[in-house]
Chain A
Amino acid sequence: MGLACALDVQTIRYPEAAGVTARPEGCEVRVVDWYRVPPASCVDLGDVYVGDRGAAAFSSGGCGRERVEREIRVAACQLGADLAMVRHLRELRTSCYQARARLLRCNAAEESAPR
């Protein structure tokens, strides 16, 4: 039995996010690769970092990719974003999946897959 996993979630809100309302909890967020080009209509509202807080070094349980993506989706909804562009932060010193993601709001009409 290991220690409970501690993930650190840090959301950075850009000035463009001022006035953007949060979306409902569990809202739909598309998660794509960081290096793809988003549709021109998308606006960056912020970004989020999800990483190992320290205690997670004892246990790999509960800080895998799925949980990290879930945290990213939660942060996106809170910020009012509907697209997350995710980059994996690889590190030898942790067994946790760590990631940085751009959070964007795209026009509903142009919510097709990024180019």
Chain B
Amino acid sequence: MIGLRALASAAALAAVLPACATFQYGSGKQTVRITTRPPGAKAFVMPDELSVETPANLVLERRLAHTVRIELEGYCRETVYLDRLISIARDTPVPFGLGIGMWIDARTGAAYRLRPDRFEIVLWPEDSLDRECGPVGSMPRKTPLPAIEPL
């Protein structure tokens, strides 16, 4: 009788244990640090429609992929793609990773992590000799700058 009860308890524990990621990360949100050179750029986060001035810490949902647009007047716009990957905590402990815990982790978002979790973006002036502005970011200059009028 005791053996059966112990077995049932072990099975129940095995089912719930993998929700470790939820215990570890709590709310399913992750802080992403964003800095730019120069600072003071506007960072617009999609799909959250969140707007901040750099440098800043963004608190974002782990279960969503995000796209951050960085804009500063006189500089090329840059875009950063935050990818959603599976957190190592979801699979811990690995042998028990088949229970409802995984489902809980996925539901809360704790099963995931965002990458990169911090980034520094160098903004290039629109009239840079080296780079020109592209649709989502600066790229090596192929178009020559307009000739400078002689004084």
Contacts and interface: CB of A to CB of B under 8 A. Distances in A.
Nearest to B134: A37
Contacts, number: 56
A54 B103 contact: yes
Interface stretch (A9-17, A25-33, A60-68, A72-80): A9-17
B83 A100 contact: yes
B20 interface: no
B88 A93 contact: yes
Interface string A91-107: 10110001010101000
A12 B85 contact: no
A38 B97 CA distance: 42
Nearest to B143: A40
B136 interface: yes
Interface of A: 10, 12-14, 37-38, 42-44, 47, 49, 51-54, 57-58, 89, 91, 93-94, 98, 100, 102, 104
Given A10-B84, A43-B135, 13 more contacts: A13-B47, A37-B139, A44-B136, A47-B81, A49-B84, A51-B84, A51-B85, A53-B106, A89-B83, A89-B85, A91-B86, A98-B85, A102-B136
